[in-house]
Amino acid sequence: MRSRPKKKRKKNTTVSRAGTRVSCWARTDLGLRRELNEDSYLADSNINLFIVADGMGGHAGGNIASKMSVDTVRKKVRATRKSGDLFEKDAIGIESPAVLKLLEDSIKAASARIFGRSNRQPELAGMGTTVTLALTHDHRVYVAHVGDSRLYRLREGKFEQLTEDHSLVNEQVKAGFITSEEAQHSRFRNIITRSVGFESEVAVDTLSLPMQPDDIYLICSDGLTGMVEDEEILEIIKKTRLSQAPARLVDLANQAGGEDNVTVVVLRYGDGEHDKRVSKSRKRKKTAGKAARKRGRSGAKRKK
């Protein structure tokens, strides 16, 4: 039996920027069917940048493409943030077009770099990767996205996908050819229509959204969403301390078959009200369980 490499340990990084607090936990896993983990991720609290990239291309190509994309974006964002010119100091909470342009240009640079390498090395021809990233600053999250990795947000009980899959089945759903339920089981669900590095140029989706206290964001590869329904993901997040959520979600994907590599990055904006509610709920259940067992023992004694 093939031995599985050790899982990467989850990260827990917390950072404050202009009175805000962003915490992050992450996990990546080989899954049960793959020989190589072609996913890459970044959780860099120094620049508040969080990325999931799911590589493709066979052999070592996917792994190389995903790592190149993460490395290229990280370097460009870090260099720009170091200069101090990225954000206007007096424009707290206001969208910065310059940030969206930086993220778009960074992903485009990664695509050109990956494509150039695949041309120089024939064995890497056709490699590419998805890229889904979030950059947080003050009270906003900036998002850039290519492919079918996803970004979700949980806010006040509402769990919604903020990115749109660049995939064949999503286009079929939008055109009305198939339903969302049929898309989940389509044999074409792994075919993506846009990726970083497959061509020199790529169109990048970008958006910016205000954050609210206790917002939770989930960035993940399709190794999770291809195996686990959104409702199940929400259930884990709602009932689990966020430090444990990535590992629980990875385990759930593997229990469902583990057909692909799976990577999960969880962000929390605020001071941890979610975890306080989870802890209170657990205490109530534990107390109720003790009371039920006590009543059971008392009933047994009376019968004697």
- Render 173-191 in DSSP notation, one character per residue: HHTTSS-HHHHHT-TTTT-
Distance separating alpha carbons of residues 175 and 138, to the nearest angstrom: 38
Could you say which DSSP state residue 210 is in?
A: E
Q: Which residues contact 229 (CB under 8 A, 6 or more apart)?
A: 184
Check residue 91 and give its pLDDT: 60
Check residue 14 and give its pLDDT: 44
Predicted TM-score (pTM) of the model is 0.86
C-beta of residue 212 within 8 angstroms of C-beta of residue 142: no
Q: In what order do the strands lie in the sheet with 13-17?
A: 13-17, 20-29, 262-269, 215-220, 150-155, 158-161
Q: What are phi and psi of 43, to 5 degrees?
A: -135, 85
Distance separating alpha carbons of residues 190 and 249, to the nearest angstrom: 20
The tens digit of pLDDT for each residue in 96-131 reads: 999 999 999 999 999 999 999 999 999 999 999 999
CA nearest neighbour of 261 among 5, 9, 28, 27: 28
C-beta of residue 106 within 8 angstroms of C-beta of residue 77: yes
Structure tokens at 202: 């790529």
C-beta of residue 157 within 8 angstroms of C-beta of residue 25: no
With a cut of 50, which residues of the chain have pLDDT below it? 1-3, 5-6, 9-18
Q: Which residue has the tokens 């069917």?
A: 33
Could you say which DSSP state residue 206 is in?
A: E
Distance separating alpha carbons of residues 17 and 135, to the nearest angstrom: 12
The tens digit of pLDDT for each residue in 48-104 reads: 999 999 999 866 799 999 999 999 999 999 999 888 767 766 666 688 999 999 999
Amino acid residing at 289: G
